[in-house]
Chains A and B, each alone.
Chain A
């Protein structure tokens, strides 16, 4: 979990021509490998920062008068991939528990899509995230991180998660760059197919 590197002043400049920041969110339970996945594909060492929110401000627009209210702080990790001279993709690792949802709302707004990273030994950790993403219609895929435990078939996992047939489900090893890259490609291919279908039916 501890990936804090800011103290080492490792800020890596972007290309001067960069104009467009994009984001993909990797969500999952504690210890499922979110930071590992971000690390394996990021061009910078993952950074960590925090978002604060007053409890009283959750769900309303005006969160004024912070000092008199309980402030909730959530840390999240992120990495970066320069896609070309203009486009930069940011990858965010977000905790999947329900109580962090206020953070998700901000991360997901405007995100291309999401990867739900799961550990087949603790599937229940991902139920809330999947449910919530489906309800808010954020496109996502599910990736099973390989922890070397009992091997389940993808059909078994899909059944256990009660996952819709149209949501891609793949296996991965978050430690490996090529595997994490494949996960991101799977997500963007899925988004592309959805978007192309939507354009054709317009």
Chain B
């Protein structure tokens, strides 16, 4: 369906994350918005530098993933590093963490207005 990683060694992804394969899944959603708090620094890992350059304005985790050409899971690990060092901040989505929990009525009203104005 998508050829992007075909023929690409899993080892490369392993190297990008320094061997980690798992970030705290609850920390970042795919639609969490990320903003740089500083510019790239000399000696910084290139993926980290690219993210900082990309997020001078807010950008979602999934857009960063598409732009870097790296799977979402890998991008979450890279972002966790940048969050830990204060290089980026995260604008967390409205928590609706359970399947059965319905979104707030007021929030849905705003979504309706936004869609009607399309």
Contacts and interface: CB of A to CB of B under 8 A. Distances in A.
A15 B111 CA distance: 17
B44 interface: no
Contact of B73 (A11, A48, A53, A194): A53
Contact of A63 (B5, B22, B67, B103): B22
B21 A21 contact: no
B30 A106 contact: yes
B115 A184 contact: yes
A112 B110 contact: no
Interface in A1-58: 1, 4, 6, 9, 11, 13-16, 18-23, 41, 47-54, 57
Question: Chain A interface secondary structure, helix, strand, loop or mixed?
Answer: mixed
Contacts of B2: 4, 48, 50, 73, 75
B57 A110 contact: no
Interface string A103-135: 000111111100000000000000000000000
Interface of A: 1, 4, 6, 9, 11, 13-16, 18-23, 41, 47-54, 57, 61-67, 71, 73-75, 78, 80-84, 87-90, 106-112, 136-139, 177, 181, 184-185, 188-189, 191-192, 194-196, 198-199
